[in-house]
Structure 1
Amino acid sequence: MEKSDFTSALRGFARSAIEKHGCSATNIIGRGRPENAFLELRGAYEGKCAVRTAKNGWFAFPWMTTDWGTLPESDYVLVPYADHDDPARGTKVYFFQADKLKPAFDAARAARIAAGKKVSDKTGMWVALHSVPGYLPTDTGFERLADWVEEFAPHTKGGAKAPPKAALDATPNRLSIAQAKQALAAYYDVSPEAVEITIRG
């Protein structure tokens, strides 16, 4: 799976996770901002939500000279994480209150500077969800700050959900985009809004 597809799939799982917890989510459009990267939440949680994908258990916010990019304007943060190259094989989504996460990022940055480590401007500073021996304690174990974790079980040939009957009944030359989205959403256990289909002619 290509990196862009992997990241997009993780963001789709993040959106599905928050919807499972009683929220509707709409994209906040911005220049250069991909779909499902910044959401407006309504329902059980109200406000702006940043979605930061985790790579090998690490996720980042960029330091932008005087403060973190995106984090200060967020009320919540979703971090979808898969420890392999296909989110459909199993994904966890961590939900954080931004006002808990920001002080932790501040502390991690201060500790790095005090330890003589480089902290670059306008570059992501990565922290680990899980404790990692040998690293600064402030850089690891961020999962402890999560309000909740939603786990999506892996889909295998024996355990995958069946697509909706309407999609199964449709022949290839009569399969609509909506039907295809429904089938893929059912298979991957995400909302149809989280499915993107690109047709190249």
Structure 2
Amino acid sequence: MYSSLVRAQNTFGFFTTVAGFLALVIALSDLIAPRTPSVGTIKTTNVQVTKQVFVYVTAEWPSVQPGHASSPSSNATNQAVIWDTIITSPSADHLQNIGPIAMKKLRKSAEGKSIDPSRGLLRLKNQKPKYQITHPSGRIAEAKDVTLRLHYNVQPWVGILTWNQDRDYGLWERLKGGVSKKFALPALKKKEGQKA
């Protein structure tokens, strides 16, 4: 009844209970850290508990009913990611895929320096898309009512993986703005001599 195996199982069970409780406390502590993102600035107030923020921009436009070139479908919206980036916290820089010599040089060069205050600020102007927009139908030119929308995903070390918030939750505020005005995609360029 009190063999070494039973004692090892009891010790392991106690360890996993304590580790699970600590992970729960860490996850719940993220709920009390305020988040106040806004257009032009994706900001978390406690970078020690945040592993990274994934930021991306999508192009969205209404689907068109088959056979009706101008009438939009009642419940379908097309969405394509056109640009993204990952903002890591300073404590997550060791996750970069670099060798030990390069990491040693990086740490040595960073000694005594403060964290760049512009870290995490995105300033995009005339940014070209990273990804091409495609559609299964192959027809995307001249799409109307296209909007660009900014999205973000907070990925903590332990806790809730949060995506775009469309409303406020306690100290976490929703993203204000982040949607462009509607525009139309351009027509395809035709080669000379090609019939319309």
Q: Which TM class, normalised by the smaller chain length?
A: under 0.3
Radius of gyration: which is bigger?
A: 2
The TM-score normalised by the length of structure 2 is: 0.20
Structure with greater helix percent: 1
The TM-score normalised by the length of structure 1 is: 0.20
